[in-house]
Amino acid sequence: MRILTVAGSLRKESYNRKLLALAESFLAQTGVEIDHVDLRDFPMPVYDGDLESEKGLPETVWKLQARIAACQGVLICSPEYNGGIPGTLKNVIDWTSRGASQPWAGKVVVLMGATTGMWGTQRMMPQLRQTLGILSAIVIPQQVNVRDARKVWDEKGQLLDDKLAERVEKVIREFVRVTRALKLEAE
Protein backbone atom coordinates (compact mmCIF):
# COMPACT_ATOMS: atom_id res chain seq x y z
CA MET A 1 0.00 0.00 0.00
CA ARG A 2 1.33 3.42 -0.93
CA ILE A 3 0.67 6.68 0.94
CA LEU A 4 1.47 10.07 -0.56
CA THR A 5 2.61 12.65 1.99
CA VAL A 6 2.75 16.39 1.46
CA ALA A 7 3.30 19.55 3.47
CA GLY A 8 1.16 22.53 2.52
CA SER A 9 4.00 24.88 3.46
CA LEU A 10 6.96 25.62 1.21
CA ARG A 11 9.22 26.83 4.04
CA LYS A 12 12.14 24.45 4.61
CA GLU A 13 11.92 24.73 8.40
CA SER A 14 8.14 24.94 8.67
CA TYR A 15 6.35 23.38 11.59
CA ASN A 16 4.23 21.44 9.11
CA ARG A 17 7.32 19.82 7.62
CA LYS A 18 8.30 18.83 11.16
CA LEU A 19 4.81 17.47 11.80
CA LEU A 20 4.94 15.60 8.48
CA ALA A 21 8.30 14.03 9.39
CA LEU A 22 6.83 12.88 12.70
CA ALA A 23 3.79 11.39 10.96
CA GLU A 24 6.00 9.72 8.34
CA SER A 25 8.03 8.08 11.11
CA PHE A 26 4.86 6.40 12.37
CA LEU A 27 3.75 5.55 8.82
CA ALA A 28 7.08 3.81 8.22
CA GLN A 29 6.38 1.55 11.21
CA THR A 30 3.18 0.29 9.57
CA GLY A 31 4.97 -1.13 6.55
CA VAL A 32 3.34 1.11 3.95
CA GLU A 33 5.32 2.62 1.10
CA ILE A 34 5.70 6.38 1.55
CA ASP A 35 5.74 8.69 -1.47
CA HIS A 36 6.93 12.03 -0.06
CA VAL A 37 6.04 14.98 -2.28
CA ASP A 38 7.73 18.35 -1.91
CA LEU A 39 5.55 20.98 -3.58
CA ARG A 40 8.67 22.98 -4.46
CA ASP A 41 9.45 20.21 -6.97
CA PHE A 42 6.12 20.83 -8.74
CA PRO A 43 6.01 24.51 -9.71
CA MET A 44 2.81 25.45 -11.47
CA PRO A 45 1.15 28.70 -12.48
CA VAL A 46 -1.86 30.06 -10.65
CA TYR A 47 -4.86 28.13 -11.93
CA ASP A 48 -6.40 29.89 -14.93
CA GLY A 49 -9.13 28.26 -17.03
CA ASP A 50 -8.01 30.20 -20.11
CA LEU A 51 -4.45 28.92 -19.68
CA GLU A 52 -5.77 25.38 -19.32
CA SER A 53 -7.91 25.78 -22.48
CA GLU A 54 -5.04 27.22 -24.51
CA LYS A 55 -2.13 25.06 -23.33
CA GLY A 56 -3.64 22.15 -21.45
CA LEU A 57 -2.32 20.93 -18.12
CA PRO A 58 1.27 21.82 -17.23
CA GLU A 59 3.68 18.87 -17.20
CA THR A 60 4.16 19.22 -13.44
CA VAL A 61 0.42 18.74 -12.98
CA TRP A 62 0.45 15.52 -15.02
CA LYS A 63 3.35 14.22 -12.95
CA LEU A 64 1.69 15.05 -9.64
CA GLN A 65 -1.65 13.61 -10.78
CA ALA A 66 0.11 10.33 -11.60
CA ARG A 67 1.67 10.17 -8.16
CA ILE A 68 -1.64 10.88 -6.44
CA ALA A 69 -3.37 8.26 -8.61
CA ALA A 70 -0.75 5.64 -7.69
CA CYS A 71 -1.48 5.97 -3.97
CA GLN A 72 -4.28 4.60 -1.85
CA GLY A 73 -4.07 7.38 0.72
CA VAL A 74 -2.83 10.93 1.18
CA LEU A 75 -1.47 12.60 4.32
CA ILE A 76 -1.58 16.41 4.24
CA CYS A 77 0.11 18.56 6.89
CA SER A 78 -0.80 22.17 6.26
CA PRO A 79 -0.63 25.52 7.98
CA GLU A 80 -3.50 27.97 8.07
CA TYR A 81 -2.99 31.25 6.22
CA ASN A 82 -5.36 34.06 7.14
CA GLY A 83 -7.89 31.55 8.42
CA GLY A 84 -7.85 29.43 5.27
CA ILE A 85 -6.07 26.97 3.00
CA PRO A 86 -2.62 28.18 1.90
CA GLY A 87 -2.74 29.45 -1.68
CA THR A 88 -0.04 27.06 -2.92
CA LEU A 89 -1.85 24.00 -1.59
CA LYS A 90 -5.23 25.16 -2.92
CA ASN A 91 -3.65 25.84 -6.33
CA VAL A 92 -2.16 22.34 -6.40
CA ILE A 93 -5.53 20.81 -5.55
CA ASP A 94 -7.27 22.95 -8.19
CA TRP A 95 -4.81 21.99 -10.93
CA THR A 96 -4.67 18.28 -10.05
CA SER A 97 -8.46 18.08 -10.12
CA ARG A 98 -8.51 19.16 -13.78
CA GLY A 99 -8.45 16.98 -16.87
CA ALA A 100 -10.08 13.65 -17.62
CA SER A 101 -8.57 11.79 -14.69
CA GLN A 102 -9.70 12.48 -11.15
CA PRO A 103 -6.85 11.29 -8.91
CA TRP A 104 -8.52 12.44 -5.69
CA ALA A 105 -11.63 10.27 -6.12
CA GLY A 106 -11.68 7.45 -3.59
CA LYS A 107 -8.42 8.45 -1.92
CA VAL A 108 -8.41 8.17 1.85
CA VAL A 109 -7.05 11.43 3.25
CA VAL A 110 -5.90 12.42 6.72
CA LEU A 111 -5.37 16.06 7.68
CA MET A 112 -2.84 17.47 10.09
CA GLY A 113 -1.72 21.02 10.63
CA ALA A 114 0.40 23.25 12.82
CA THR A 115 0.52 27.01 13.36
CA THR A 116 2.02 29.38 15.86
CA GLY A 117 -1.38 30.89 16.64
CA MET A 118 -3.75 29.99 19.44
CA TRP A 119 -6.36 28.49 17.09
CA GLY A 120 -4.02 26.12 15.30
CA THR A 121 -5.58 25.08 12.01
CA GLN A 122 -9.18 24.87 13.22
CA ARG A 123 -10.51 27.32 10.62
CA MET A 124 -8.60 25.88 7.66
CA MET A 125 -9.34 22.19 8.29
CA PRO A 126 -13.09 22.35 7.50
CA GLN A 127 -12.35 24.22 4.26
CA LEU A 128 -9.77 21.65 3.18
CA ARG A 129 -12.05 18.79 4.23
CA GLN A 130 -14.90 20.27 2.16
CA THR A 131 -12.73 20.88 -0.91
CA LEU A 132 -11.38 17.32 -0.89
CA GLY A 133 -14.85 15.89 -0.22
CA ILE A 134 -16.19 17.65 -3.30
CA LEU A 135 -13.47 15.85 -5.27
CA SER A 136 -14.77 12.51 -3.85
CA ALA A 137 -11.86 11.95 -1.49
CA ILE A 138 -12.64 10.12 1.74
CA VAL A 139 -11.36 12.42 4.48
CA ILE A 140 -11.33 10.56 7.78
CA PRO A 141 -12.72 12.41 10.80
CA GLN A 142 -9.56 12.03 12.89
CA GLN A 143 -7.10 14.88 12.50
CA VAL A 144 -4.21 16.55 14.30
CA ASN A 145 -4.35 20.27 15.02
CA VAL A 146 -1.24 21.80 16.61
CA ARG A 147 -1.48 25.29 18.06
CA ASP A 148 1.33 27.43 19.49
CA ALA A 149 3.86 25.35 17.55
CA ARG A 150 6.83 27.37 18.87
CA LYS A 151 6.35 25.54 22.17
CA VAL A 152 6.04 22.11 20.58
CA TRP A 153 9.47 21.99 18.87
CA ASP A 154 12.71 23.57 20.06
CA GLU A 155 14.96 25.75 17.89
CA LYS A 156 16.81 22.63 16.65
CA GLY A 157 13.56 20.99 15.55
CA GLN A 158 13.40 18.50 18.41
CA LEU A 159 9.91 17.57 19.57
CA LEU A 160 9.17 18.82 23.09
CA ASP A 161 5.62 17.49 23.41
CA ASP A 162 5.39 13.71 23.89
CA LYS A 163 1.60 13.90 23.88
CA LEU A 164 1.70 15.17 20.30
CA ALA A 165 3.68 12.10 19.26
CA GLU A 166 1.04 9.90 20.90
CA ARG A 167 -1.79 11.78 19.14
CA VAL A 168 -0.07 11.57 15.76
CA GLU A 169 0.65 7.86 16.17
CA LYS A 170 -2.99 7.16 17.09
CA VAL A 171 -4.32 9.08 14.07
CA ILE A 172 -1.80 7.41 11.73
CA ARG A 173 -2.83 3.95 12.96
CA GLU A 174 -6.49 4.76 12.25
CA PHE A 175 -5.66 6.27 8.85
CA VAL A 176 -3.73 3.16 7.80
CA ARG A 177 -6.46 0.85 9.16
CA VAL A 178 -9.19 2.64 7.18
CA THR A 179 -7.06 2.83 4.03
CA ARG A 180 -6.22 -0.88 4.18
CA ALA A 181 -9.85 -1.81 4.80
CA LEU A 182 -11.07 0.23 1.86
CA LYS A 183 -8.28 -1.11 -0.37
CA LEU A 184 -9.23 -4.71 0.48
CA GLU A 185 -12.89 -3.95 -0.13
CA ALA A 186 -12.07 -2.53 -3.57
CA GLU A 187 -10.10 -5.65 -4.60
Predicted model pTM: 0.96
Quote the domain boundaries for residue 162: 2-186
CA distances from 80 to 7, 9, 112 (A): 12, 9, 11
Q: Quick: pLDDT tens for 6-54.
A: 999 998 889 999 999 999 999 999 999 999 999 999 999 999 999 999 9
- pLDDT per residue as tens digits for the range 99-130: 888 999 999 999 999 999 999 999 999 999 99
Q: What CATH number does the domain containing 148 carry?
A: 3.40.50.360
Measured CA to CA in angstroms, residue 119 lies from 6, 94, 125 at distances of: 22, 26, 11
- Give the chain's domain count: 1
What is the C-alpha separation between 57 and 48, in angstroms, rounded? 10
